[in-house]
Chain A
Amino acid sequence: MALSDRLPLEAGKVGAVVGFAIPIWFTLFAINENIWNWLLFAQFRLDPTNPIVESIRFFVYDSIKIFLLLAGIIFVATVARSFMSIERTRALLGGKRAGLGNVAAAALGIVTPFCSCSAVPAFIGFVSAGIPVGVTMSFLIASPLINEIAIGLLWSLFGWEIALLYVAAGLTIAIVAGFVIGLMKPERWVESFVFETRIGGQIVDPSRGLSFRERVQMGVEETQSILRKVWIYVLVGIAIGAVIHGWAPADFFAAVAGPDNPFAVVIAVVMGIPLYSNAAGVMPIVEVLFTAGIPMGTLLAFMMAVVALSLPELVLLKRILKLPLLGIFVAVVASGIVVIGYSFNAIVGG
Protein backbone atom coordinates (compact mmCIF):
# COMPACT_ATOMS: atom_id res chain seq x y z
CA MET A 1 0.00 0.00 0.00
CA ALA A 2 1.49 3.32 -1.00
CA LEU A 3 1.77 5.97 1.67
CA SER A 4 -0.44 8.27 -0.38
CA ASP A 5 -3.37 5.83 -0.28
CA ARG A 6 -3.88 6.17 3.39
CA LEU A 7 -3.04 9.78 3.99
CA PRO A 8 -6.10 11.94 3.54
CA LEU A 9 -4.97 15.48 2.88
CA GLU A 10 -6.55 18.58 4.13
CA ALA A 11 -8.77 19.38 1.21
CA GLY A 12 -8.18 22.60 -0.65
CA LYS A 13 -4.71 23.24 0.71
CA VAL A 14 -3.10 23.02 -2.71
CA GLY A 15 -5.75 25.30 -4.14
CA ALA A 16 -5.26 27.78 -1.31
CA VAL A 17 -1.51 27.91 -1.85
CA VAL A 18 -1.77 28.38 -5.60
CA GLY A 19 -4.83 30.60 -5.62
CA PHE A 20 -4.20 32.91 -2.67
CA ALA A 21 -0.77 32.61 -1.12
CA ILE A 22 1.21 33.14 -4.32
CA PRO A 23 -0.57 36.36 -5.48
CA ILE A 24 -0.49 37.72 -1.91
CA TRP A 25 3.23 37.00 -1.70
CA PHE A 26 3.98 38.94 -4.88
CA THR A 27 1.74 41.85 -3.89
CA LEU A 28 3.30 42.21 -0.45
CA PHE A 29 6.78 41.97 -1.91
CA ALA A 30 6.01 44.65 -4.48
CA ILE A 31 4.48 47.20 -2.11
CA ASN A 32 6.71 46.53 0.93
CA GLU A 33 9.24 49.33 0.43
CA ASN A 34 6.88 52.07 -0.73
CA ILE A 35 4.23 51.47 1.90
CA TRP A 36 6.65 52.18 4.75
CA ASN A 37 8.09 55.24 3.07
CA TRP A 38 4.55 56.50 2.56
CA LEU A 39 3.43 55.69 6.10
CA LEU A 40 6.46 57.00 8.00
CA PHE A 41 7.40 60.02 5.92
CA ALA A 42 4.18 61.16 4.23
CA GLN A 43 1.68 60.26 6.96
CA PHE A 44 3.60 60.49 10.23
CA ARG A 45 5.93 63.17 8.82
CA LEU A 46 8.97 61.62 10.46
CA ASP A 47 12.41 62.88 9.60
CA PRO A 48 14.09 60.43 7.19
CA THR A 49 17.56 61.63 8.20
CA ASN A 50 17.03 60.75 11.86
CA PRO A 51 18.98 57.55 12.59
CA ILE A 52 16.28 56.20 14.91
CA VAL A 53 13.60 56.68 12.26
CA GLU A 54 15.83 55.12 9.64
CA SER A 55 16.55 52.13 11.89
CA ILE A 56 12.83 51.56 12.50
CA ARG A 57 12.01 51.90 8.83
CA PHE A 58 14.78 49.48 7.95
CA PHE A 59 13.65 47.00 10.60
CA VAL A 60 10.02 46.75 9.49
CA TYR A 61 10.86 46.85 5.80
CA ASP A 62 13.68 44.32 6.06
CA SER A 63 11.79 41.95 8.40
CA ILE A 64 8.91 41.67 5.96
CA LYS A 65 11.25 41.33 3.01
CA ILE A 66 13.39 38.61 4.63
CA PHE A 67 10.39 36.64 5.89
CA LEU A 68 8.69 36.79 2.50
CA LEU A 69 11.89 35.66 0.81
CA LEU A 70 12.43 32.89 3.35
CA ALA A 71 8.90 31.57 3.02
CA GLY A 72 9.06 31.62 -0.79
CA ILE A 73 12.51 30.05 -0.95
CA ILE A 74 11.84 27.31 1.62
CA PHE A 75 8.58 26.39 -0.08
CA VAL A 76 10.05 26.19 -3.58
CA ALA A 77 13.20 24.38 -2.37
CA THR A 78 11.21 21.82 -0.38
CA VAL A 79 8.88 20.99 -3.22
CA ALA A 80 11.83 20.68 -5.61
CA ARG A 81 13.83 18.57 -3.17
CA SER A 82 10.92 16.26 -2.39
CA PHE A 83 11.93 14.46 -5.58
CA MET A 84 15.28 13.58 -4.03
CA SER A 85 16.31 11.62 -0.96
CA ILE A 86 19.41 10.17 0.66
CA GLU A 87 18.25 6.75 -0.51
CA ARG A 88 17.96 7.88 -4.09
CA THR A 89 21.30 9.70 -4.06
CA ARG A 90 22.88 6.55 -2.65
CA ALA A 91 21.52 4.53 -5.56
CA LEU A 92 22.73 7.15 -8.06
CA LEU A 93 26.24 7.23 -6.58
CA GLY A 94 26.56 3.46 -6.24
CA GLY A 95 29.52 2.16 -8.27
CA LYS A 96 30.95 5.64 -8.93
CA ARG A 97 34.72 5.96 -8.68
CA ALA A 98 36.79 8.87 -7.38
CA GLY A 99 36.93 11.81 -9.75
CA LEU A 100 33.60 11.79 -11.52
CA GLY A 101 32.11 10.37 -8.32
CA ASN A 102 33.28 13.41 -6.36
CA VAL A 103 31.68 15.75 -8.89
CA ALA A 104 28.40 13.82 -8.83
CA ALA A 105 28.41 13.56 -5.04
CA ALA A 106 28.99 17.29 -4.59
CA ALA A 107 26.25 18.16 -7.07
CA LEU A 108 23.80 15.73 -5.43
CA GLY A 109 24.77 17.24 -2.08
CA ILE A 110 23.04 20.47 -3.12
CA VAL A 111 19.73 18.93 -4.10
CA THR A 112 19.40 16.10 -1.58
CA PRO A 113 17.38 16.96 1.52
CA PHE A 114 19.78 16.31 4.37
CA CYS A 115 19.96 17.17 8.03
CA SER A 116 23.22 16.96 9.89
CA CYS A 117 21.63 14.49 12.33
CA SER A 118 21.42 12.03 9.43
CA ALA A 119 25.14 12.35 8.68
CA VAL A 120 26.03 9.06 10.35
CA PRO A 121 23.38 6.78 8.80
CA ALA A 122 23.92 8.44 5.43
CA PHE A 123 27.67 7.85 5.68
CA ILE A 124 27.19 4.18 6.54
CA GLY A 125 24.55 3.78 3.84
CA PHE A 126 26.88 5.26 1.21
CA VAL A 127 29.87 3.17 2.25
CA SER A 128 27.76 0.01 2.32
CA ALA A 129 26.73 0.72 -1.28
CA GLY A 130 30.40 0.61 -2.26
CA ILE A 131 30.75 4.39 -2.58
CA PRO A 132 34.38 5.36 -1.77
CA VAL A 133 34.98 7.32 1.45
CA GLY A 134 36.41 10.29 -0.49
CA VAL A 135 33.27 10.50 -2.66
CA THR A 136 31.09 10.24 0.45
CA MET A 137 33.07 13.11 1.99
CA SER A 138 32.37 15.25 -1.10
CA PHE A 139 28.68 14.75 -0.41
CA LEU A 140 29.01 15.45 3.32
CA ILE A 141 30.91 18.68 2.64
CA ALA A 142 28.71 19.98 -0.17
CA SER A 143 25.44 19.29 1.57
CA PRO A 144 25.70 21.82 4.42
CA LEU A 145 28.13 24.13 2.63
CA ILE A 146 25.88 24.88 -0.34
CA ASN A 147 22.66 25.75 1.38
CA GLU A 148 19.54 26.27 -0.71
CA ILE A 149 18.28 29.04 1.54
CA ALA A 150 21.62 30.82 1.19
CA ILE A 151 21.44 30.44 -2.61
CA GLY A 152 17.96 31.91 -2.73
CA LEU A 153 18.72 34.80 -0.39
CA LEU A 154 22.01 35.64 -2.11
CA TRP A 155 20.22 35.62 -5.44
CA SER A 156 17.44 37.94 -4.32
CA LEU A 157 19.63 40.27 -2.25
CA PHE A 158 22.81 40.48 -4.35
CA GLY A 159 21.94 39.13 -7.79
CA TRP A 160 22.39 35.82 -9.58
CA GLU A 161 26.08 36.32 -10.27
CA ILE A 162 26.92 36.24 -6.55
CA ALA A 163 24.63 33.25 -6.02
CA LEU A 164 26.28 31.40 -8.90
CA LEU A 165 29.77 32.22 -7.61
CA TYR A 166 28.74 30.90 -4.19
CA VAL A 167 27.52 27.60 -5.68
CA ALA A 168 30.64 27.25 -7.84
CA ALA A 169 32.87 27.98 -4.85
CA GLY A 170 31.09 25.45 -2.63
CA LEU A 171 31.21 22.78 -5.33
CA THR A 172 34.93 23.39 -5.83
CA ILE A 173 35.67 22.94 -2.12
CA ALA A 174 33.55 19.79 -1.89
CA ILE A 175 34.97 18.16 -5.02
CA VAL A 176 38.64 18.99 -4.33
CA ALA A 177 38.44 18.21 -0.61
CA GLY A 178 36.71 14.86 -1.19
CA PHE A 179 39.17 13.96 -3.93
CA VAL A 180 42.22 14.86 -1.80
CA ILE A 181 40.82 12.92 1.18
CA GLY A 182 40.23 9.96 -1.14
CA LEU A 183 43.91 9.93 -2.10
CA MET A 184 44.96 9.60 1.56
CA LYS A 185 43.52 6.08 2.03
CA PRO A 186 40.89 7.41 4.41
CA GLU A 187 39.40 3.95 5.06
CA ARG A 188 41.93 3.46 7.89
CA TRP A 189 40.37 6.42 9.72
CA VAL A 190 36.83 5.08 9.57
CA GLU A 191 35.58 2.96 12.50
CA SER A 192 35.56 -0.66 11.40
CA PHE A 193 31.92 -1.30 12.32
CA VAL A 194 30.92 1.00 9.47
CA PHE A 195 32.18 -1.56 6.96
CA GLU A 196 30.52 -4.41 8.82
CA THR A 197 27.08 -2.85 9.06
CA ARG A 198 24.58 -4.54 6.78
CA ILE A 199 21.52 -2.69 5.67
CA GLY A 200 18.46 -4.76 6.29
CA GLY A 201 14.78 -4.45 5.74
CA GLN A 202 13.29 -2.87 2.72
CA ILE A 203 14.91 0.43 1.93
CA VAL A 204 12.25 3.09 2.17
CA ASP A 205 12.72 5.95 -0.25
CA PRO A 206 10.80 8.93 1.15
CA SER A 207 10.87 10.68 -2.24
CA ARG A 208 8.85 7.98 -4.01
CA GLY A 209 5.11 7.63 -4.37
CA LEU A 210 4.20 11.19 -3.49
CA SER A 211 1.50 13.05 -5.36
CA PHE A 212 1.89 16.69 -6.32
CA ARG A 213 -0.58 17.60 -3.58
CA GLU A 214 1.58 15.88 -1.02
CA ARG A 215 4.68 17.69 -2.24
CA VAL A 216 2.91 21.04 -1.94
CA GLN A 217 1.73 20.00 1.51
CA MET A 218 5.32 19.12 2.45
CA GLY A 219 6.41 22.54 1.24
CA VAL A 220 3.81 24.24 3.42
CA GLU A 221 4.71 22.13 6.46
CA GLU A 222 8.44 22.63 6.03
CA THR A 223 8.04 26.39 5.56
CA GLN A 224 6.00 26.60 8.77
CA SER A 225 8.39 24.40 10.72
CA ILE A 226 11.58 26.23 9.65
CA LEU A 227 10.07 29.68 10.16
CA ARG A 228 8.88 28.61 13.61
CA LYS A 229 12.43 27.54 14.44
CA VAL A 230 14.36 30.49 13.03
CA TRP A 231 12.07 33.54 13.29
CA ILE A 232 13.62 34.79 16.52
CA TYR A 233 17.17 34.53 15.13
CA VAL A 234 16.10 36.28 11.98
CA LEU A 235 14.48 39.11 13.95
CA VAL A 236 17.57 39.46 16.18
CA GLY A 237 19.73 39.47 13.05
CA ILE A 238 17.61 42.17 11.44
CA ALA A 239 17.54 44.20 14.68
CA ILE A 240 21.33 44.16 14.87
CA GLY A 241 21.33 45.01 11.20
CA ALA A 242 18.89 47.90 11.75
CA VAL A 243 21.09 49.42 14.45
CA ILE A 244 24.18 49.12 12.27
CA HIS A 245 22.16 50.49 9.36
CA GLY A 246 20.91 53.54 11.26
CA TRP A 247 24.18 54.48 12.94
CA ALA A 248 26.62 52.68 10.63
CA PRO A 249 29.93 52.82 12.49
CA ALA A 250 31.55 52.25 9.15
CA ASP A 251 35.01 53.12 10.40
CA PHE A 252 34.89 50.32 12.93
CA PHE A 253 33.89 47.66 10.42
CA ALA A 254 36.27 48.97 7.82
CA ALA A 255 39.10 48.69 10.34
CA VAL A 256 38.17 45.20 11.59
CA ALA A 257 36.98 43.51 8.45
CA GLY A 258 37.28 46.01 5.63
CA PRO A 259 39.15 45.55 2.37
CA ASP A 260 42.36 46.92 3.91
CA ASN A 261 42.66 44.27 6.60
CA PRO A 262 44.53 41.32 5.06
CA PHE A 263 43.42 38.98 7.85
CA ALA A 264 39.74 39.84 7.54
CA VAL A 265 38.73 36.57 5.87
CA VAL A 266 40.64 34.43 8.38
CA ILE A 267 39.08 36.35 11.27
CA ALA A 268 35.64 35.89 9.73
CA VAL A 269 36.10 32.12 9.40
CA VAL A 270 37.54 31.68 12.90
CA MET A 271 34.59 33.68 14.27
CA GLY A 272 32.11 31.71 12.19
CA ILE A 273 33.10 28.12 13.12
CA PRO A 274 31.94 28.12 16.78
CA LEU A 275 28.78 30.02 15.84
CA TYR A 276 26.17 27.73 14.49
CA SER A 277 23.07 29.04 12.92
CA ASN A 278 20.77 28.48 10.05
CA ALA A 279 21.64 30.36 6.87
CA ALA A 280 18.38 32.25 7.40
CA GLY A 281 19.67 33.76 10.64
CA VAL A 282 23.01 34.88 9.22
CA MET A 283 21.68 36.44 6.03
CA PRO A 284 20.18 39.66 7.45
CA ILE A 285 23.48 40.43 9.19
CA VAL A 286 25.41 39.66 6.02
CA GLU A 287 23.16 42.01 4.06
CA VAL A 288 23.70 44.91 6.43
CA LEU A 289 27.44 44.35 6.85
CA PHE A 290 27.71 44.39 3.07
CA THR A 291 26.08 47.80 2.88
CA ALA A 292 28.41 48.87 5.72
CA GLY A 293 31.32 48.27 3.38
CA ILE A 294 32.58 44.79 4.25
CA PRO A 295 33.61 42.94 1.10
CA MET A 296 31.45 40.11 -0.22
CA GLY A 297 34.16 37.44 0.00
CA THR A 298 34.73 38.10 3.69
CA LEU A 299 30.99 37.88 4.36
CA LEU A 300 30.56 34.72 2.32
CA ALA A 301 33.45 33.12 4.20
CA PHE A 302 31.81 34.05 7.49
CA MET A 303 28.46 32.68 6.38
CA MET A 304 29.92 29.43 5.01
CA ALA A 305 31.87 28.86 8.23
CA VAL A 306 28.75 29.40 10.34
CA VAL A 307 26.58 27.13 8.21
CA ALA A 308 28.99 24.36 7.15
CA LEU A 309 30.99 23.55 10.25
CA SER A 310 28.98 22.84 13.34
CA LEU A 311 30.00 21.28 16.62
CA PRO A 312 26.91 19.03 16.93
CA GLU A 313 27.60 17.49 13.54
CA LEU A 314 31.26 16.92 14.41
CA VAL A 315 30.27 15.16 17.64
CA LEU A 316 27.99 12.84 15.65
CA LEU A 317 30.63 12.17 13.01
CA LYS A 318 33.13 11.31 15.76
CA ARG A 319 31.20 8.05 16.18
CA ILE A 320 32.28 6.82 12.77
CA LEU A 321 35.34 8.89 11.85
CA LYS A 322 38.59 8.72 13.78
CA LEU A 323 40.21 11.96 14.82
CA PRO A 324 42.68 12.29 11.91
CA LEU A 325 39.89 12.19 9.32
CA LEU A 326 37.69 14.49 11.39
CA GLY A 327 40.63 16.91 11.72
CA ILE A 328 41.34 16.75 7.99
CA PHE A 329 37.64 17.33 7.29
CA VAL A 330 37.55 20.50 9.41
CA ALA A 331 40.94 21.75 8.19
CA VAL A 332 40.16 21.18 4.52
CA VAL A 333 36.73 22.80 4.69
CA ALA A 334 37.96 25.77 6.75
CA SER A 335 40.94 26.45 4.48
CA GLY A 336 38.73 26.00 1.42
CA ILE A 337 36.41 28.66 2.78
CA VAL A 338 39.34 31.01 3.45
CA VAL A 339 40.68 30.56 -0.09
CA ILE A 340 37.21 31.23 -1.51
CA GLY A 341 36.84 34.34 0.65
CA TYR A 342 40.05 35.83 -0.68
CA SER A 343 39.33 34.82 -4.29
CA PHE A 344 35.87 36.37 -4.04
CA ASN A 345 37.30 39.61 -2.72
CA ALA A 346 39.84 39.61 -5.55
CA ILE A 347 37.19 38.89 -8.23
CA VAL A 348 34.30 41.04 -7.01
CA GLY A 349 36.72 43.71 -5.88
CA GLY A 350 35.07 44.38 -2.53
Chain B
Amino acid sequence: MDIKILGPGCTNCVTLERITHEALAQLGIDATVGKVTDIQDIMAYGVMSTPGLVIDDVVVFSGRVPTPTRVRELITAAANPSA
Protein backbone atom coordinates (compact mmCIF):
# COMPACT_ATOMS: atom_id res chain seq x y z
CA MET B 1 0.00 0.00 0.00
CA ASP B 2 1.27 3.43 -0.91
CA ILE B 3 0.13 6.33 1.24
CA LYS B 4 0.86 9.99 0.62
CA ILE B 5 0.18 12.96 2.86
CA LEU B 6 -0.54 16.11 0.88
CA GLY B 7 0.30 19.42 2.51
CA PRO B 8 2.80 22.25 2.48
CA GLY B 9 4.19 21.34 5.89
CA CYS B 10 1.70 22.94 8.23
CA THR B 11 0.80 21.60 11.68
CA ASN B 12 -2.24 19.78 10.32
CA CYS B 13 -0.12 17.82 7.84
CA VAL B 14 2.33 16.77 10.56
CA THR B 15 -0.61 15.65 12.71
CA LEU B 16 -2.11 13.66 9.86
CA GLU B 17 1.23 11.97 9.19
CA ARG B 18 1.55 10.95 12.84
CA ILE B 19 -2.03 9.64 12.95
CA THR B 20 -1.43 7.64 9.76
CA HIS B 21 1.72 6.02 11.15
CA GLU B 22 -0.09 5.15 14.36
CA ALA B 23 -3.05 3.70 12.44
CA LEU B 24 -0.77 1.53 10.31
CA ALA B 25 1.04 0.26 13.39
CA GLN B 26 -2.24 -0.58 15.13
CA LEU B 27 -3.65 -2.35 12.09
CA GLY B 28 -0.39 -4.14 11.38
CA ILE B 29 -0.50 -3.06 7.74
CA ASP B 30 2.70 -2.51 5.85
CA ALA B 31 2.74 0.66 3.79
CA THR B 32 5.06 3.34 2.55
CA VAL B 33 4.10 6.77 3.81
CA GLY B 34 5.38 9.64 1.71
CA LYS B 35 4.90 13.37 1.88
CA VAL B 36 3.92 15.62 -0.99
CA THR B 37 4.83 19.18 -0.06
CA ASP B 38 5.23 20.81 -3.45
CA ILE B 39 2.18 22.91 -4.20
CA GLN B 40 2.12 21.99 -7.86
CA ASP B 41 2.23 18.29 -7.04
CA ILE B 42 -0.57 18.73 -4.50
CA MET B 43 -2.67 20.53 -7.07
CA ALA B 44 -2.01 17.70 -9.51
CA TYR B 45 -4.16 15.54 -7.22
CA GLY B 46 -6.96 18.11 -7.48
CA VAL B 47 -6.66 18.94 -3.79
CA MET B 48 -7.25 22.56 -2.79
CA SER B 49 -7.84 22.16 0.91
CA THR B 50 -5.00 20.56 2.81
CA PRO B 51 -4.17 18.27 4.43
CA GLY B 52 -5.04 15.52 2.01
CA LEU B 53 -4.72 11.76 2.41
CA VAL B 54 -3.93 9.72 -0.68
CA ILE B 55 -4.02 5.93 -0.65
CA ASP B 56 -2.77 4.15 -3.79
CA ASP B 57 -3.11 7.34 -5.82
CA VAL B 58 -6.73 7.96 -4.78
CA VAL B 59 -7.58 10.99 -2.67
CA VAL B 60 -9.64 9.54 0.18
CA PHE B 61 -9.80 12.54 2.48
CA SER B 62 -9.03 16.24 2.32
CA GLY B 63 -9.78 19.52 4.00
CA ARG B 64 -9.47 18.54 7.65
CA VAL B 65 -7.45 16.33 9.94
CA PRO B 66 -9.50 13.13 10.17
CA THR B 67 -9.83 11.38 13.51
CA PRO B 68 -7.58 8.35 14.15
CA THR B 69 -10.68 6.14 13.94
CA ARG B 70 -11.51 7.46 10.51
CA VAL B 71 -7.94 7.02 9.27
CA ARG B 72 -8.05 3.39 10.42
CA GLU B 73 -11.35 2.94 8.61
CA LEU B 74 -10.00 4.48 5.42
CA ILE B 75 -6.88 2.32 5.48
CA THR B 76 -8.90 -0.82 6.24
CA ALA B 77 -11.32 -0.01 3.44
CA ALA B 78 -8.46 0.47 0.99
CA ALA B 79 -6.79 -2.75 2.13
CA ASN B 80 -9.99 -4.78 1.63
CA PRO B 81 -11.67 -3.28 -1.45
CA SER B 82 -14.43 -5.89 -1.41
CA ALA B 83 -15.52 -5.25 2.17
Binding site for B on A (CB under 8 A): 3, 6-8, 10, 85-87, 90, 113-115, 117-118, 120-122, 124-125, 128, 193, 197-204, 206, 218, 221-222, 225, 312, 316, 319-320
List 5 A-B pairs, minimum CB-CB distance, nearest first.
Answer: A117-B10, A201-B46, A125-B48, A206-B63, A203-B46
> Is A122's CB under 8 angstroms from B49's CB?
yes
A169–B69 Cα distance when bound, in Å, is 41
B70 touches A121 (CB 8 A): no
Q: CB-defined interface of B59-70 with A at 8 Å, one 1/0 digit per residue?
A: 111111101011
What are 25 of the A-B contact pairs (CB < 8 Å)?
A: A3-B61, A7-B77, A87-B48, A113-B49, A113-B63, A114-B49, A117-B13, A117-B50, A118-B48, A121-B42, A124-B39, A124-B48, A128-B43, A198-B44, A199-B43, A199-B46, A200-B43, A200-B45, A200-B46, A206-B61, A221-B67, A222-B64, A225-B65, A312-B10, A316-B10
A121 near B73 (CB under 8 angstroms)? no
Measured in the bound complex, the distance between the Cα atoms of B9 and A120 in whole Å is 12
| Cα(A327)–Cα(B61), bound, Å | 34
Across-interface contacts of B62 in A (CB, < 8 A): 204, 206
Interface residue ranges of B11-39 to A (CB < 8 Å): 11-13, 39
- Whether B67 lies near A117 (C-beta < 8 A) is no
CB < 8 Å neighbour of A202 from B39, B46, B61: B46
Looking at A85, A90, A121, A319, the one whose CB has the most chain B CB atoms below 10 A away is: A121
Is the beta-carbon distance between B39 and A6 smaller than 8 angstroms? no
Knowing A6-B77, A206-B62 are in contact, say whether A121-B44 is a contact too (CB < 8 A).
no
Distance A86 CA – B11 CA, assembled complex (angstroms): 19
Instruction: Chain B residues near A121: list those with CB within 8 A.
Output: 8, 39, 42-43, 47-50
By size class, the interface of chain B is 20 to 34
- B44, A201: Cβ atoms under 8 Å? yes
Which of A199, A204, A206, A316 meets B64, CB within 8 Å?
Answer: A206
Whether A86 contacts B46 by the Cβ 8 Å rule is: no
Given contacts A199-B48, A204-B52, A206-B49, 4 further A-B contacts (CB under 8 A): A10-B69, A198-B43, A201-B45, A204-B46
Residue of B nearest to A90 (CB): B48
- Find chain A residues with CB under 8 A from B65 CB: 225
Once A6-B73, A204-B59, A222-B64 are accepted as A-B contacts, the answer to whether A117 and B11 lie under 8 Å apart by CB is: yes
A268 to B18 CA separation, bound complex (whole angstroms): 38
In the assembled complex, the Cα of A204 lies from the Cα of B52 at a distance in Å of 10
Contact assessment for B12 and A193 in the assembled complex, using a CB-CB cutoff below 8 Å: no
Whether A7 touches B49, Cβ cut-off 8 Å, given contacts A117-B7, A124-B43, A201-B59, is no
Contacts of B50 in A (CB 8 A): 115, 117-118, 121
Of chain B, the residue at the smallest CB distance from A220 is B67
Contacts of B49 in A (CB 8 A): 85-87, 113-115, 118, 121-122, 206
CB pair A85 B63 closer than 8 Å: yes
Q: Within the complex, what minimum Cβ distance (angstroms) separates B27 from chain A? A: 15
A10's nearest neighbour on chain B, judged by CB, is B69
Complex: chain B residue closest to A225, CB-CB: B65
Q: Whole-angstrom distance between the alpha carbons of A83 and B17 in the complex? A: 26
Give the nearest-CB partner of A113 in chain B. B63
Question: Would you give the shortest CB distance from B56 to chain A, in whole angstroms?
Answer: 13
Specify which of B43, B52, B65, B70 lies most central, judged by the most chain A CB atoms within 10 Å of its CB. B43
A323: shortest Cβ distance to chain B, in Å? Answer: 19
Residues of A within 8 A of B52 (CB): 204
Q: Out of B39, B67, B73, B83, which one reaches A319, CB within 8 Å?
A: B39
Q: What A residues does B61 contact at CB under 8 A?
A: 3, 206
List, in ascending order, chain B residues with CB within 8 A of A85's CB: 49, 63
In the complex, which residues of chain B have a beta carbon less than 8 angstroms from the beta carbon of A319?
8, 39
In Å, the complex CA distance between A118 and B49 comes to: 5
Residues of chain A lying within 8 A (CB to CB) of residue B51: 117
**Given the complex, which residues of A lie within 8 Å of B44, measured CB to CB?**
198-201
